[in-house]
Amino acid sequence: MADGFHAKLTIIPFEDSETIQIPIPSGPPFVAQFNPESLSLSTEFEYGPEEPAQGDDGDEAKFKNVKQGNFSIDLFLDGTGASGEKREVLAQIEWFKATVGFYGKIHRPRFLLVTWGTFVATCVLESYSINYKLFRPDGTPLRATLSATFREHKPKAVKELLKNLSSPDITHAHQVKEGDHLSLLAYRVYKEPAYYFQIAQANELNTIRKIKTGSTLYLPPVK
């Protein structure tokens, strides 16, 4: 990772998802003792079967939206001091839980801003687990790995913008395939084959009977 505002991975808590953008923290941030050796990102695209037009036997997977992604990190906690920095393992775990966990004032886990070099994410904690690896004779843990998974959380304004991008009320581009015709495209996008005329008009087509395979049509918003 390139150097950024936070050289160490930092988790900043917020009580309101909208204040993440201002920002106004709701408590002290958690700063990792050591940066993770890896960062795993996951993104999922959602599709749904599109209802075929009359006479069309196709079963096209229609894109619906991009689901909220998640990312996972493993944090090494060392209480021995052998690495040059000694922090009690149990104290680090309590610090982490206080930053990311349930917050009584909002009756839910806190909203979070995770930063590490050039990586920045607004999110909530999805799950975490702790693997203790070394102990003092009295059973106090000296080393542990804290594995955490966070789910992306976009503020409402950002979510509304992304939602609108898949709406038939904005212009879409469509590359013509073999067998396409305007009334079928109108049905797929607007659920109304009669809108073929608006497509022809927007693309200045001289004929509606034959459209060139491989060409691009612009499907305009309709009211």
Sheet holding 70-78, edge to edge: 30-31, 10-14, 111-116, 119-135, 141-152, 70-78, 39-42
CATH 3.10.350.10 fits 168-219, yes or no: yes
Q: Which of 151, 177, 145, 160 is nearest to 32 (CA)?
A: 145
**Range(s) of the chain covered by CATH 3.10.350.10:** 168-219
pLDDT tens for 73-102 read: 999 999 998 877 889 999 999 999 999 987
68 neighbors 152 (Cβ within 8 angstroms): yes
pLDDT tier, 200 (very low <50, low <70, confident <90, very high otherwise): confident
pLDDT tens for 4-14 read: 345 889 998 88
Q: For the beta carbon of residue 222, count every other beta carbon within 10 angstroms.
A: 14
pLDDT tens for 94-153 read: 999 999 987 777 788 888 889 888 888 889 999 999 999 999 999 999 999 999 999 988
CA angle 28, 85, 1 (to 5 degrees): 70
**Range(s) of the chain covered by CATH 2.40.30:** 10-161
CATH numeric code, 10-161: 2.40.30
pTM: 0.60
Does position 168 have pLDDT exceeding 90, yes or no? no
Query: What is the enclosing helix (H) or strand (E) of 182?
Result: helix 182-190
